Chain A
Amino acid sequence: MSAIVPDALIASRIQFAANITFHILFPAVSIGLAWMLMYFKFKFDRSTDAAWMDAYRFWVKVFALSFAIGVVSGVTMSFQFGTNWPGYMQTVGNIAGPLLAYEVLTAFFLEASFLGIMLFGAGRVSKRVHTLATFLVALGTTISAFWILALSSWMQTPVGFEMRGGRAHAISWPAILFSPSFPYRFTHMLLAAGLTTAFLVAGVSAWRWRLGDRRDDVRAALRSAVQLAALLIPLQIVVGDLHGLNTLDHQPAKVAAIEGLWETQRHAPAILFALPDEAAQTNRYEISIPGLASFYLKHSFNAEIHGVKEFPGAHPPVAPVFWAFRIMVGVGLLMLVVAWTALWQLRRRGEPGSLLCRVLVLMTFSGWLALAAGWYVTEIGRQPWLVYGVLRTANAVTDAPAGRVGLTLVMYLLLYAVLLVAFVSALFHMARKAGTSPQATTMNAVADPFRGDDKQSGVDNHA
Chain B
Amino acid sequence: MPELANPTGWLPLIFMVVMGLGVLVYVVLDGYDLGVGILISLASEAEKDAMIASIGPFWDANETWLVLGIGVLLTAFPLAHGIVMGALYLPVAAMLLGLILRGVAFDFRFKAQDSHKPWWNRSFCAGSLLAALAQGYMLGLLVVGFERSARNMLFAACIGLGLAAGYCLLGAGWLLMKCDGDLQRRAVVWGRQALWLTALGIVGVSVATPLLNRQIFDKWFAVPNIFLLAPIPALTLILFIFAGVALRSLPSRFDRQSHGWDWVPFAATVAIFILAFHGLAYSLFPWIVPQRMDIWQAAAAPESLILILAGVIVVLPVNIAYTIFSYWVFRGKSRNLDYG
User: Interface of A with B (CB < 8 Å)?
Assistant: 61, 64-65, 67-69, 71-76, 78-79, 81-83, 85-87, 89-90, 93-98, 100-102, 104-106, 108-110, 112-117, 119-125, 167, 169-170, 173, 398-400, 404, 407-408, 411, 415, 419, 422, 425-426, 429-430, 444-454, 457-462
In the complex, the chain A residue whose C-beta lies closest to that of B56 is A446
Known: A68-B60, A97-B300, A404-B90. A120 touches B330 (CB 8 A): yes
Task: Say how far B154's CB is from chain A's closest CB, in angstroms.
Answer: 21
Q: Is the CB of B49 within 8 A of A123?
A: no
Chain B residues positioned under 8 Å from A407 (CB to CB) = 90
Contact of A461 among B50, B300, B326, B330 (CB under 8 A): B50
B82's partner among A82, A422, A429, A457 (CB-CB below 8 A) is A82
Q: Are B315 and A89 in contact (CB under 8 A)?
A: no
The answer to whether B107 and A451 have CB atoms under 8 Å apart is no
Given A85-B82, A116-B326, A461-B181, 16 further pairs, Cβ under 8 A: A71-B63, A72-B100, A72-B103, A74-B67, A79-B70, A81-B85, A90-B79, A94-B301, A97-B304, A104-B68, A112-B60, A113-B326, A115-B60, A426-B108, A453-B340, A459-B50
Q: Is the interface of A mostly helix, strand, loop or mixed?
A: helix
**Could you list 25 examples of A-B contacts with CB < 8 Å?**
A68-B106, A71-B63, A82-B84, A83-B86, A96-B78, A97-B78, A98-B75, A101-B71, A101-B75, A104-B67, A108-B68, A109-B64, A114-B322, A123-B339, A124-B336, A125-B329, A170-B301, A398-B89, A400-B86, A446-B49, A447-B56, A449-B339, A458-B49, A461-B47, A461-B49
What CA separation (Å) do A444 and B93 show in the bound complex? 32
User: Are the CB atoms of B74 and A89 closer together than 8 Å?
Assistant: yes
Answer whether residue B303 sits at the interface, using C-beta atoms and an 8 A cutoff: yes
Write out the residue numbers on chain B whose beta carbons fall within 8 Å of the beta carbon of A78: 67, 70-71, 74
Interface: B180 (CB within 8 A):
yes
Within the complex, the shortest CB–CB distance from B66 to chain A, in Å, comes to 7
Which residues of chain B are within 8 angstroms of A100 by Cβ–Cβ distance?
Answer: 71, 74-75
Chain A residue numbers with a CB within 8 Å of B181 are: 461-462
- Contact residues in A for B57 (Cβ distance below 8 Å): 116-117, 119-121
Question: Does B192 interact with chain A (Cβ within 8 Å)?
Answer: no
Within the complex, which residue of A75, A170, A400 is in contact with B304, where a contact is CB–CB below 8 Å?
Answer: A170
Nearest CB on A from B131, distance (A): 11
User: Are A75 and B67 in contact, with the CB atoms below 8 A?
Assistant: yes
- The contact of A101 among B72, B97, B334, by CB within 8 Å, is B72
Q: What chain A residues lie within 8 Å of B106 (beta carbons)?
A: 68
Q: Tell me whether B316 is interfacial, beta carbon within 8 Å.
A: yes
A451–chain B nearest beta-carbon distance, Å: 5
Q: Is B330 a contact partner of A121 (Cβ separation < 8 A)?
A: yes
Contact B82 A90 (CB under 8 A): yes
- Would you give the 0/1 interface string for B44-82, flagging 1 where the beta carbon is closer than 8 Å to chain A? 011101101100111011011011101111111011011
B337 touches A459 (CB 8 A): yes
Give min CB distance, A63 to chain B, whole Å.
10
Is A458 within 8 A of B50, CB to CB? Answer: yes
The residue that A109 contacts in the complex, of B56, B304, B319, with Cβ under 8 A, is B319
Chain B residues contacting A109 (CB-CB under 8 Å) are 61, 64, 68, 315, 319, 322-323
B255 within 8 A of A: no
B183 at the interface (CB under 8 A from A): yes
CB pair A458–B46 under 8 Å, yes or no, is yes
Which of these, B56, B90, B301, B307, contacts A167 with CB under 8 Å?
B301
B50 contact set on A, CB distance < 8 A: 458-459, 461
Q: Are A68 and B104 in contact (CB under 8 A)?
A: yes
* Closest CB pairs A-B (n = 4): A86-B82, A93-B78, A82-B85, A97-B75
Partner of A75, one of B96, B301, B315: B96
Taking a contact as CB atoms under 8 Å apart, the answer to whether B86 and A460 are in contact is no
Is B308 interfacial (CB 8 A cutoff)? yes
Across the interface, which residues of A come within 8 angstroms of B96, CB to CB? 75-76, 79
A69 and B104 in contact, given A109-B323, A123-B338, A458-B45 (Cβ under 8 angstroms): yes
Residues of B within 8 A of A399 (CB): 86
Question: Quick one: closest B residue to A427, CB to CB?
Answer: B111
User: A75 and B340 in contact (CB under 8 A), knowing A114-B326, A461-B46?
Assistant: no
Per the bound structure, the CA–CA distance linking A186 and B166 in Å amounts to 44
Cα of A248 to Cα of B71 in the assembled complex, Å: 34
> What residues of chain B lie closer than 8 Å to A93, measured between beta carbons?
74-75, 78-79, 81, 300, 304
Given A65-B107, A78-B67, A124-B336, are A83 and B53 also a contact pair (CB < 8 Å)?
no
Residues of A close to B70: CB separation below 8 A: 78-79
Please state if B338 and A460 are interface contacts (CB–CB under 8 Å). yes
- Closest residue to B315 on the A side, CB-wise? A105
Residues of the A chain whose Cβ atoms lie less than 8 Å from the Cβ of B340: 123, 451-454
- A residues near B79, Cβ cutoff 8 Å: 89-90, 93
* Structural contact, A98 and B307, CB atoms closer than 8 A: yes
Q: Does B221 contact A (CB under 8 A)?
A: no
- Supposing A68-B107, A93-B79, A404-B89 touch, asked if A104 and B339 sit within 8 A by C-beta, the answer is no
Q: Bound complex: CA of A65 vs CA of B82, how far in Å?
A: 31
Which residue of B is nearest A451, CB measured? B339
Complex formed: what's the CA distance from A64 to B110 in Å? 11
Query: Given the complex, which residues of A lie within 8 Å of B86, measured CB to CB?
Result: 82-83, 86, 398-400
Q: Which residue of B lies closest to A457 (CB)?
A: B49
Q: Please name the residue on chain A nearest to B47 by beta carbon.
A: A461
Tell me, yes or no, whether B272 is within 8 Å of chain A by CB: no
Least CB separation from A105: chain B residue: B315
Cβ B89 vs Cβ A83 within 8 A:
yes
Residues of A within 8 A of B301 (CB): 94, 167, 169-170
Task: Report Cα–Cα, A254/B323, bound state, in Å.
Answer: 44
Closest partner residue, chain A, to B103 (CB atom): A72
B60 touches which one: A73, A116, A454 (CB < 8 A)? A116
Contact of B99 with A by CB under 8 A? yes
Chain A residue contacts of B107, Cβ below 8 A: 64-65, 68-69, 447
- CB–CB A419/B71 < 8 A: no
Report Cα–Cα, A419/B303, bound state, in Å: 41
**In the docked arrangement, what's the CA distance between A119 and B59, Å?**
13
How far is it, in angstroms, between the C-alpha of A110 and the C-alpha of B45 when the chains are bound?
33
Bound Cα distance A90, B83 (Å) = 10
Q: Is the CB of A68 within 8 A of B103?
A: yes
Smallest CB-CB separation from B62: which chain A residue? A112
Determine whether B325 belongs to the interface, using a CB cutoff of 8 Å to chain A.
Answer: yes
Q: What's the nearest-Cβ distance from chain B to residue A20, in Å?
A: 14
Report A93 CB to chain B, min CB distance, Å. Answer: 3
Q: Which residues of B contact A122 (CB under 8 A)?
A: 339
B92 A116 Cβ-Cβ under 8 A: no
Instruction: Give residues of chain B (102-117) contacting chain A, Cβ–Cβ below 8 Å.
Output: 103-104, 106-108, 110-113
Q: Given A83-B86, A94-B304, A461-B180, check contact A120 B56 (CB 8 Å).
A: yes
Docked-complex contact B61 and A408, CB < 8 angstroms: no
